[in-house]
A and B are shown apart, each in its own frame.
Chain A
């Protein structure tokens, strides 16, 4: 009976997760939809050699790494700060209102949130009307390369930081109150409490989330970039996922795109193993 319960779920994992893994073979073939996987010719590492020596892929790879790095450096500390700030608020309604304002963008799709970003930054948007009032020239944010990465990074921070702060708030709530009382007896000020009690106590939570984050460096959200980018900013905004989509599904170079995708998956796998090892070494307890 129990095995009967398992059949649909296991079938799902085999069909929709493991069959595509078998389908990766096409990365080593010149795949033709008419001949199928069994009938297509094997070409070894041809596609891998081609994209490793390809300028366009180099750009895409650099974009992916840079945007990911910026998101990590600028985005990772924000939820921690936010949690520390929210934790100090004692006024119930104020806390509830700000929390709701910070959490809710997480539940909007990137189409909606990206749409809002596009509207706000458009030539008739609020940012340009403010610039205009200060006598400055309007800026077409989505047509200039120098703004695109900042837009991606900042909009991601605004959308997700509030939601990400919940975990830290929970960790802070778990800190033993006796520690604070003892510190206050000794005349500690708020900033001492935060620096010497709160932060060390939530250190392991921070560590685990940081390491998990490192494991997904090459996957930084196709839904966001696909919504925001346009051909004018491909040079700085095209990432591996959008590149695989365009080359693979729009231009139908299946084998080449599958090879790029495989490269991304393998790097991701290695990063997760490394991150897990690090997590164990630092006493955070691995994921497995």
Chain B
């Protein structure tokens, strides 16, 4: 018995060490990018920057914060996320509530129609041509409307609403409450954790998606943050100044890219600790099958 305990204890130690190593592997890339954003051009080109800044300088951030395109794309991303999530939640709640009422005629048909969109879709080109015909290309609506309801989230919320006892809605009806009141005053407050989770899922989707903007948006004034960031990183495309008046390099382009990455990460990191709980809950919501 004593021997078994020892082997288990060694196993535990090895497990901890491995996890710690994996944690470091996850952490080092961030530290590296952070260090690059703070290091001097000379240190970066000579390959001396690893996980701490060498030749500390803040010029990359100064340049970034002077770039109007950065602010504009940040603003577009915020507008998209707020407006988009509001549309998402409104439509999803209204639909989920109606579809959770068992006496609704045609409920099965609508559910099947929704589920079918999860396994088959028209594809990239027909969707693009549709937006073109609707004259939505190059408008903020092209980023909001095509993803207005997620079938997956809708079904999740519908199932959640169905767990609320029928008798509650029943008694509210007897007291003269309409469906609008029942949804707003009863169902939404009773499912706050699910609401929070879905809001976060939708918000993260809007904040992170960039490929739709690549396809649908040409106007540089409407490009969201992720596309701006991609242009800086992949295409080396920015109005930022990396040389001084004599043409000597002041800031390494690597530094600028790194600073742009860090500036885009910060909002996520700032919000994450407060919402991690809901995210994890949300995965469970989706994982539970009837």
Interface residues in chain A, defined as those with a beta carbon under 8 Å from any beta carbon in chain B: 1-3, 5-6, 8-10, 12-13, 15-24, 26, 33, 82, 85-86, 88-91, 94, 97-98, 100-105, 107-112, 114-120, 122, 124-126, 128-130, 132, 138, 158, 162-163, 166-167, 170, 187, 189-191, 215, 222-223, 226-227, 230, 241, 244-245, 248-249, 254, 257-258, 261-262, 264-265, 268-269, 272, 285, 288
Contact = CB atoms under 8 A, between A and B. Distances in A.
A107 B272 contact: yes
A20 B98 contact: no
A24 B49 CA distance: 51
Contact of A5 (B179, B254, B268, B279): B179
B121 A13 contact: no
A6 B123 contact: no
A261 B26 contact: no
B139 interface: no
Given A12-B91, A98-B23, A222-B211, A128 B123 contact: no
B284 A88 contact: no
B123 A223 contact: no
Interface string B186-208: 00000000000000000010011
A66 to B, nearest CB: 22
Contacts of A94: 16, 19-20
Contact of A245 (B92, B119, B124): B124
Contacts of B47: 124, 128-129, 132, 138
A191 B50 CA distance: 38
A91 B13 CA distance: 12
A9 B94 contact: yes
Interface residues of B, number: 99
Nearest to B283: A166
Nearest to A208: B289
Interface of B: 1, 4, 7-8, 11-12, 15-16, 18-20, 22-23, 25-30, 32-33, 36, 44-45, 47-51, 90-92, 94-95, 97-99, 101, 104, 110, 113-115, 117, 119-130, 132, 145-146, 148-149, 154, 178-180, 183, 204, 207-211, 214-215, 226-227, 229-230, 233-234, 252, 254, 257-258, 260-261, 264-265, 268-269, 272-273, 276, 279-280, 283-284, 287, 289
Contacts of A12: 91, 145, 148-149
Contacts of A187: 1, 4
A contact face: mostly helix, strand, loop, or mixed: helix
A177 to B, nearest CB: 17
A170 B285 CA distance: 11
Contacts of A15: 130
- Would you list the 8 A-B pairs with minimal beta carbon distance, nearest first? A20-B122, A23-B126, A261-B123, A109-B208, A9-B95, A20-B126, A258-B125, A129-B47
Contacts of B49: 124, 126, 129
8 contacts: A1-B180, A19-B130, A98-B23, A124-B36, A124-B47, A138-B47, A167-B287, A262-B123
Pick the most buried of A26, A105, A108: most chain B CB atoms within 10 A of its CB: A108
Nearest to A215: B119
Contact of B287 (A163, A170, A272): A170
B129 A16 contact: no
Contacts of A21: 120-122, 126
Given A3-B98, A119-B36, A167-B283, A245 B26 contact: no
B130 A13 contact: no
B contact face: mostly helix, strand, loop, or mixed: helix
Nearest to B233: A115
B183 to A, nearest CB: 8
A174 to B, nearest CB: 10
Contacts of A116: 29-30, 33, 261
Contacts of A117: 29
Given A111-B210, A112-B229, A187-B1, A119 B121 contact: no
A205 B210 CA distance: 32
Contacts of A3: 98
Contact of A227 (B50, B119, B234): B234
A96 to B, nearest CB: 10
A223 B145 contact: no
B23 A26 contact: no
Given A23-B129, A124-B45, A112 B15 contact: no
B207 A115 contact: no
A17 B26 CA distance: 38
A13 B117 contact: yes
Given A9-B94, A120-B29, 18 more contacts: A2-B104, A5-B179, A10-B113, A23-B125, A24-B123, A33-B132, A82-B22, A89-B16, A90-B12, A100-B276, A107-B268, A109-B210, A115-B33, A119-B32, A166-B280, A226-B211, A241-B124, A245-B215
A191 B226 CA distance: 45
B258 A119 contact: yes
B30 A249 contact: no
B35 to A, nearest CB: 9
Contacts of A2: 97-98, 101, 104, 179
A189 B145 CA distance: 55
